[in-house]
Chains A and B, each alone.
Chain A
């Protein structure tokens, strides 16, 4: 495997310093978080940075905390593994922990960060659909100060976001959510582990009473459009209706009709579309079943429907 061409690594202690380094040294610089994308881009795809600014010495970028109002703040440098095993996340949003646990291996997840994953804007990123159904916001540090944007409007295309050169993603905010919110994430990929999603489906919903009348629902899809997307037509099918196999099937059909998958080495567009229909239905029905308590990491993966 190819070795990196020479470059310098700076380790600033603050966001301000990091931005200044980037301005001072000019083009050809890359911010480094976990490095699981950057190192591979350098080794495999021939990327040659002139210099790298390592963000890991900036303390304010790490950690996961719960605010008094119930919102959650995920530092951009929180690792995928931290998101996966965080007590507060696995208690409140187990499907988000699971989506983080679907990424790569434990070795990768100990390095890969949630901020890096979002900033790289891969259409198949596993945590993004789960964050979209939680209506997460993204905070970035820009030359005009801090900006907050909904995650949904953060992505512009594969590898492209609203961030400009020198901007730093600082945190992801999950707004307060009802304690009765139930959710699910299904990663559909040919292998159980160490693979990218053909299709990712996340669902979060609130129901009324024993009849499972849907009060609020959010559905998001990964890997089937240029950017991870909300499936609003599918959501509209479910609102104020009883959730059962039939309505879930119709929501699945709606989701399949509104996504815009491509054909590539992994799967054809038609197959992906079909799998959106199947897995959206599954995710909705799984979400309604709920998850039995705090399960260990592995048990979370089982498919119940």
Chain B
């Protein structure tokens, strides 16, 4: 195979891979939109972190507070609470839609994890409350585990991360 053909083949396989990753991100958004929180949690590895910093360009969770900084255990507690019949701040529940765009494969780490970046908008409606719109960037670190894709790290950088918020109940 010539060098050019080789490069074309790599580019082609990357395009296939990117399409697979994009579908995976949309699947995650769909599970959250449909409030299938257990299945959503199951997309994450056991050593996963779900992180929403509270400061722009925040480097770590130690030096500054975060809106969410959940390990898998905390994610499970969060989901358990979202499923609880007496979660008052979800009575009635929110109805959300998440729209993802601009998905790109940013890097492949030496451990074979894909770093995928995208942009999103989330609209949240809850009866009796003003409509809320959130937007920002997703950074997913995705690995292959037992023949399926799983998320090791999801970082959500909201455009208004350092502002005051009304109650937040839905993962972004």
Do A and B assemble together? Answer: no
